[in-house]
Amino acid sequence: MGAAACDAAVEELTRLLDQVEEPLKQTFQNVHQGYPTDTLVRFLKAREWHVSKACDMLVDSLNWRIQNEIDSILE
């Protein structure tokens, strides 16, 4: 995949992520630890650059973290 296509996929996934509920956005902040683009690329690669599949996978992952209280497990 070329750099332009990669950038377009990241931008599209970012737009989709902007539409999710606030708790998911906050959890994403904890997941990416300052590297949101790298995190999005990781999910895109895992789904062979299919943006909708990557978004589903990411949202499922974030929901799992919320349901299992992963971000507060060490408190």
Per the document, the length of the chain is: 75
Q: Output the pTM of the full model.
A: 0.90
Query: Which amino acid, 48?
Result: E
Fold of 3-72: Helicase, Ruva Protein; domain 3 (1.10.8)
CB 73 within 8 A of CB 27: no
Domain ranges (residues) in the chain? 3-72
pLDDT tens digit sequence for 19-58: 999 999 999 999 999 999 999 999 999 999 999 999 999 9
Which phi and psi (to 5°) does residue 15 adopt? -60, -40
pLDDT of residue 62: 97
CB 5 within 8 A of CB 48: no
Which phi and psi (to 5°) does residue 56 adopt? -60, -45
